[in-house]
Amino acid sequence: MKIRASACALAMSMGLLSAAAAHADDPNDPTMRSDEAHARDRAITKHMNERQLAFVRQRDARSDEQLRSGQESYSAARADYARRMAAWRHAVAACEAGHREYCDN
């Protein structure tokens, strides 16, 4: 029963979406018959595309900045890790050489 209700709801929503899409670019739309209407539509579309392009460029700039910051943090952490490992290896070698002050419990 649930499957049938879900299938029915899906079919109805797909029908509504396809109906809306069918009217999105109707070549017989009476409001789009003049050259002025086409020019206005082109201008609106161009403006929307320019706004979206600006948004995408700002988003990409923020993303690049965050990526660079993350890489710098990672590089600093790796350098710190390398220093601590070098100090640990030095202590192990000194301990094994008999310098008990380098030996941990």
- pTM as predicted: 0.43
Position 54 scores a pLDDT of 96
Answer whether residue 11 shows pLDDT above 80.
Answer: no
The full set of domain ranges for the chain reads: 44-105
- For residue range 18-54, list pLDDT tens digits in order: 555 555 667 778 887 888 888 999 999 999 999 999 9
Rounded to 5, what percent of the chain is helix, strand, coil? 85, 0, 15
> What span, in angstroms and rounded, lies between the C-alpha atoms of 64 and 73?
14
Residue listed under structure tokens 């109906």: 19
- What does the pLDDT average to over 10-24? 59
Angle among Cα 1, 6, 13 to the nearest 5 degrees reads: 150
Residue listed under structure tokens 């965050």: 66
- For residue range 45-94, list pLDDT tens digits in order: 999 999 999 999 999 999 988 888 888 888 889 999 999 999 999 999 99
Q: Are 77 and 69 in contact (CB under 8 A)?
A: no
